[in-house]
Amino acid sequence: MANAYQLKRADFVFRNENDYEKILSKTLKRDKQDIINELISSELKGRGGAGFPTGLKWKLTSESKSEEKYVICNADEGEPGTFKDREILSKVPYKVLTAMAVCGHVIGAKKGFIYLRGEYKFLQKELNKAIEEFKYFCNEIKLDFDIEIFMGSGAYICGEETALMESMEGKRGEPRNKPPFPTTDGYMGKPTVINNVETLAHTFTIFKYGAKKFYDLGVQYSRGTKLFSVSGDTPKPGIYELELGMSLQDFVYEFGDGDTKAVQVGGASGFLVPRKKFKDAAIGFKGKLTGISLPTGGSMMLFNSSRSMFNVLDNYLEFFREESCGQCTPCRVGCQQLLLGIKAVKRGDKPASYLEKLMRLTETMQYTAKCGLGQSVANSFSSIVGNFREEMIY
Amino acid sequence: MPNKVNLSINGFSIEVSKDTTILDAAKELGITIPTLCYHKDLCVAGNCRVCVVEVAGQKRLSAACATPCEEGMEILTNSLKVRNSRKHIIELLLSEHNADCTKCYRNGNCELQELASEYKIMTQDFLELVPHKNYTIDAYSPSIIKDDSKCIRCQRCVRTCAELQGVNALTCSHKGDEMKITTFYEKHMREVVCTNCGQCINHCPTGALVEKNYIEQVWEAIADPKKHVVVQTAPAVRVGLGEELGLEPGTRLTGKMVAALKRLGFDSVLDTDFTADLTIIEEGTELLTRLKKALVDKDETVSLPMATSCSPGWIKYIEHMYPEYLDNLSTCKSPQQMFGALAKTYYAKARNLEPENIVSVSIMPCTAKKFEAYRPEMHDSGYRDVNYVLTTRELAILIKQAGLDFDRLDEMKYDRLMGESTGAGVIFGATGGVMEAALRTAYEIVTGREVPFKNLNITPVRGMEGVKEASIKIENPVEDWAFLDGVELKCAIAHGLVNAKVVMDKIKQGEADYHFIEFMACPGGCLGGGGQPIPTNPEIRQKRMEAIYAEDGDMPIRKSHDNPEVQKLYKDFLKEPLGEVSHHLLHTKYTKRERF
């Protein structure tokens, strides 16, 4: 078992994509149910951070009855500290396009969109070229599937799938109530599969090598590989493909600068893990792993002892205060209270015990916010204040 | 039964149909779950999160208003977790809210205040956020005051403006802590497409949107011995006022309201229903004249269908949205403005008063009437025709301030000269009412017979359906109107501006062949007006409507042209419908406006 925790590099996502035409033609010939079953057996989970089983998502959408359906590739990569999707779209765009076309075939959609983050406008030209070429090939093999880029406008919240759809429909980017879910009521109220860029790239791997190859990587409940965007106090920042299930200890051995104080896993909406918990923290989805399991969209920020955790938290909260869509009370007002609260404690305007009141507020935010963002904005607060309380006060 | 699901709420089992929300299921069991952003008139937003409940097996709480019941759910609406979270949310809302309740117009009728009181939020533990915000107050509109410091961002006003009215004057802008409800380019309310209908006020849970009140000005006028203060009351006020005074919706208070107004010190208590009857004569004649021009003279410049012009919200709407159709509007002023113009001419003369000493006050279920009274063209008497417009809510404030025990008032009758009215006048307060009143009169003018409906109740034009259509065939007309023989008069009725849009678009696309259309800006007509008591919801509107038709049924005279005071007005003053005096005092022009 111990082996499962070790850091294992892998190279699937960025491996060449020259054979995409072959993979697409081959996969399209397969039975749709068969493709879904393969995805389900691979146990691939969404790589945007929420970790919903991809095969199940496709299955549910394929079962929704509608003349019109859509495939959306979520390329609104906005989580602070993640930059992997950008690389996928510039290095191996055909993998993503292929996966979208297969998904369209499986669920019965003729139209796909790539929701591209506003700040990634520089990718648009090259990506459009790839789309043109891809469509040409689709035409050749008589596949009726169109792909279009939809440019985001820079709101973090539009990475949330239903806010993204609202934004595409020309409305204000605000998350919807769930249920109903996109599998039945997505873009334009039609059944929609919305997958993260990386998730789609992984399905290409599965179509190419089979589910078993993917399943054999990683650990129980966290199968396959994942791209990590490594940044912060590290001698080697960059994007790395690693098998899921590693311990944070191993990760820090590899990427730390020898003085790592804490790692923020999952970006600003993720959790901060202090040094003393590295050993017990595993990167992956919740399962039977011992210790803490941390799902992540791939952002790994390392902090060494020169960093003030107060400043780190202050920075995250500033971000959320501005990037909350503002519609629901716990997220809109909660973020303001957390931010102003730690400042007030630091200044001495509020007693240190006020932090406990704010900790209870983070629970309320987690329980009651309308969307996944609102439910997770307080994670950084609870984990940073929980572990570095004294830094907040003194 | 596949469409039914079984669940339990606080341990009590219940079976409901599949799409029922947890909120509604709980209500069926007699359990109230608090709400703020929820309103029966509007789509579900689920953004305030006050209604969260615990569903067994789920870590997160669910918004009861937005979550459909599922088979086997076990719901707790008052667990410790729910209570703590709910309290937190109320505290958060209060921290962002200017909670200076004693200085708030909605003090005592505020949903947030009520919740804070229910949950006994006695301290403000969280930081006060109000000083960090650049809140502004927009008080430039003659109808509506918008105070952002009181706003809780529930977006009820935004949904109201979009879903009920299709106007979209209010919208959300910015995000995060700066998210707010604002207008196009953050202009003042008076500069945008706002129709002043006041539905946003009626749907606002707090004091963020309130009417501009003229209470003090009216008290001052009453106290001034040199002034003769006349007051007119709109049809819908008499069936709404009771709610503000703690009575059941739909309570008819005509007589007591008149008595109260006299006690308040108004010199003369008169009825807008009187000018409603007058409107019917003028507008009916105008319609028949237009029909004659179109059918006999083959005059192609005549604009048909003719649209009613009583609702100032609708007038401002068409001025902004369909300015190319202004000729289709009846040129008749609204009953309020007809009354105003006559009060300072006909009434002044008859009572031997100087018009400049007359202060004309109107009690309206409406905030758009405040704007209407301020229109520059409404000076045909040589003075401002109507000085102050109060809403039903403001009247209730006057009554409370005066310390009147409403229960103990004896019913009184309106004063004479412009106080006499008919059942046709009172139904102006309900959607379809103007149409019904007009048909009662026009049909009789044309055929010499009463409308062929039992008890004069033209039921096809009644009811809450958004757009209603009706037609009435004219047979054997009297000689003057012989050209109408066999003509099927086609009518439509729309209430709520979103329905007005449906009808207008149909006309625009050439798909409608109506002759006459009644438009009312507010859902249900004036009885659901933006100046009516808060709350207003579908059930309450229904009750007010029943009261309006009951008023009509009990009136000795039911047809406008039989109103003896109206007949006398024509004999002594106006001479004839659409005559020169009428033209000067009772008719108006409209203004083309931009959309932004």
Per the CB < 8 A criterion, the answer to whether B402 and B262 are in contact is no
Q: Which residue of B has its CA nearest to A344?
A: B127
Tell me, which fold does domain B92-211 have in CATH?
Alpha-Beta Plaits (3.30.70)
**Of residues B44, B153, B177, nearest to A336 (C-beta):** B177
B250/chain A closest Cα distance in angstroms: 36
Closest CA in chain B for residue A330 = B89
Asked if B177 lies within 8 A of A326 by C-beta distance, the reply is yes
**What is the overall mean pLDDT for chain A?**
94
CA-based nearest residue in chain A for residue B96: A333
pLDDT of residue A285: 85
Q: Which of A215, A246, A271 is the last residue of a domain?
A: A215
Scanning B485-514 for CB atoms below 8 A from A yields none
Q: In terms of Cα–Cα distance, which of A127, A186, A121 is closest to A154? A: A121
Delimiting residues of CATH 3.30.70.20 domain(s) in chain B: 92-211
Instruction: Quote the number of domains for chain A.
Output: 2
Angle at B561 between CA B469 and CA B343, to 5 degrees: 105
**Residue A321: pLDDT over 60:** yes
- Contact (CB<8Å) A172/B172: yes
Q: What is the SS3 string spanning chain A?
A: CHHHHCCCECCCCCCCCCCHHHHHHHHHCCCHHHHHHHHHHHCCECCCCCCCEHHHHHHHHHHCCCCCCEEEEEECCCCCCCCHHHHHHHHCHHHHHHHHHHHHHHHCCCEEEEEECHHHHHHHHHHHHHHHHHHHHHHHCCCCCEEEEEECCCCHHHHCHHHHHHHHCCCCCCCCCCCCCCCCCCHHHCCEEEEEHHHHHHHHHHHHHCHHHHHCCEECCEECEEEEEEEECCCCCEEEEEECCCEHHHHHHHHCCCCEEEEEECHHHCEEEEHHHCCCEEECCCCCCCCEEECCCCEEEEEECCCCHHHHHHHHHHHHHHHCCCCCHHHHHHHHHHHHHHHHHHHCCCCCCHHHHHHHHHHHHHHHCCCHHHHHCHHHHHHHHHHCHHHHHC
Q: What's the pLDDT at A6?
A: 67
- Give yes or no for A268 touching B (CB within 8 A): no
Q: Does B129 touch chain A (CB under 8 A)?
A: yes
Q: How far is B176 from chain A (nearest CA, A)?
A: 4
What is the pLDDT, as a whole number, of residue A288? 54
Q: Is the pLDDT of residue A2 over 70?
A: no
Residues A211 and A357 in one domain: no
> Cβ B127–A320 below 8 Å, yes or no?
no
- Final residue of a domain: which of A162, A195, A215? A215
Question: Where along chain B do the CATH 3.10.20.740 domains lie?
Answer: 4-78
CA distance B126 to chain A (A): 7
Residue of A nearest to B55 (CA): A367
Q: Which of B52, B63, B132 sits opposite A177 (nearest CB)?
A: B63
| Nearest chain B Cα distance for residue A336, angstroms | 7
Residue A63, pLDDT above cutoff 90: yes
Tokens of A212: 């078993």
Round to the nearest angstrom and report the end-to-end CA distance of chain A: 42
Contact list, A175 vs chain B (CB under 8 Å): none
Looking at the DSSP bridge assignments, the partners of residue A283 are: A294
Q: Does A196 touch chain B (CB under 8 A)?
A: no
Domain membership of residue A301 (yes or no) is: no
Contact B47 A328 (CB under 8 A): yes
Are A346 and A209 contained in the same domain? no
Record: contact B48-A336, CB cut-off 8 A: no
Domain shared by A210 and A320, yes or no? no
> Model-level pTM?
0.94
Inside any domain, residue A321: yes
Tell whether A334 is within 8 A of chain B (Cβ): yes
Query: How far does the CA of residue A6 sit from the closest CA of chain B (Å)?
Result: 32
DSSP B68: B
Chain B residue numbers touching A155 (CB-CB < 8 A) = 175
- From chain B, the residues in CB contact with A321 under 8 A are 176-177
Do A11 and A156 share a domain, yes or no?
A: yes
Please report the DSSP string for B306-339 in residue order.
Answer: EE----HHHHHHHHHH-GGGGGGB--BPPHHHHH
pLDDT digits (tens, 9 = 90+) for A215-265: 999 988 899 999 999 999 999 999 999 999 899 999 999 999 999 999 999
**C-alpha distance from B177 to closest chain A C-alpha (Å):** 6
End-to-end alpha carbon distance in chain B: 53
Q: Flag the least confident range among A121-125, A286-290, B168-172, B182-186.
A: A286-290
Question: Which residues of B are designated catalytic?
Answer: 283, 286, 310, 330, 369, 372, 377, 526
Among A165, A168, A173, smallest CA distance to A151 is for: A168
Residue among A179, A326, A361 minimizing CB distance to B176: A326
Three-state secondary structure call for residue B58: coil
Residue of A172, A340, A368 with shortest CB distance to B89: A368
- pLDDT of residue A292 exceeding 80, the answer is no
Closest residue to B49, CB basis, from A329, A336, A337? A329
Condensed to tens digits (0 to 9), the pLDDT of residues B394-442 reads 999 999 999 999 889 999 999 999 999 999 999 999 999 999 999 999 9
Per-residue confidence band for A3, with pLDDT thresholds at 50, 70 and 90: very low
Contacts of A325 in chain B (CB under 8 A): 175-176, 179
* Cross-chain Cβ contact B60/A335 below 8 Å: no
A40/A156 same-domain check: yes
Task: Locate the chain A residue with the closest alpha carbon to B171.
Answer: A172
Last residue of a domain, one of A182, A199, A215: A215
Q: Find the closest chain A residue to B154 by CA distance.
A: A327
Chain B residues with CB under 8 Å of A322 CB are 175-178
Q: What is the mean pLDDT of residues A359-374?
A: 96
Domain contains A283: no
Kindly state whether residue A385 falls inside one of the protein's structural domains: yes
Residue A246 lies in a domain: no
In this complex, do B60 and A368 lie within 8 Å of one another by their Cβ atoms? yes
Nearest to A30 by CA among A211, A202, A152: A211
Angle of CA points B60, B66, B69, to nearest 5°: 80
Torsion of Cα atoms, A268 then A269 then A270 then A274, to 10°: 50
Are B175 and A333 in contact (CB < 8 Å)?
A: no
For the domain made up of B4-78, give the CATH fold. Ubiquitin-like (UB roll) (3.10.20)
Give the mutation candidate from A320, A367, A379 for the B interface (greatest B CB count, under 10 A). A367
Quick one: closest CA in A to B70, which residue? A179
Residue numbers in B near A348 (CB within 8 A): none
Q: How many Cβ atoms sit within 10 Å of the Cβ of residue B571?
A: 9
The whole-number pLDDT of residue A290 equals 53
- CA distance, residue B54 to nearest chain A CA (Å): 9
A320 part of contact set with chain B, CB < 8 Å = yes
Domain enclosing residue A345, as ranges = 309-393
CATH of the domain at A325: 1.20.1440.230
* Distance from C-alpha of A323 to C-alpha of A326, rounded to nearest angstrom: 8
- Model confidence at A1, pLDDT cuts 50, 70, 90, reads very low
Amino acid sitting at position A13: V
Output the domain CATH number for residue A70.
3.40.50.11540
Q: Name every chain A residue with its beta carbon within 8 A of the beta carbon of B49.
A: 328-330, 368-370
Size of interface A-B (CB pairs under 8 A): 118
Alpha helices in B402-470 (DSSP H): 423-426, 433-447
Of A328, A341, A363, the CB nearest to B49: A328
Torsion sign (Cα): A191, A194, A199, A204: positive
| Strand, helix or coil for residue B44 | coil
**B 143-162 residues with CB below 8 A of A?**
152-153, 155
Q: How far apart are CA B123 and CA B87, in angstroms?
A: 12
Q: Give the integer Cα–Cα distance in Å for B128 and B139.
A: 25
B349 contacts chain A (CB < 8 A) = no
What CA–CA distance (Å, rounded) separates B218 from B216?
Answer: 5
**Are A321 and A211 contained in the same domain?**
no
- Which of B47, B68, B88 is nearest residue A364 as measured by Cβ atoms? B88
Residue A329 forms contact with B (CB below 8 Å): yes
Low-confidence stretches of chain B (pLDDT < 50) are none
Interchain contact A368–B (C-beta under 8 A)? yes
Residues 6+ apart with CB under 8 A from B403: none
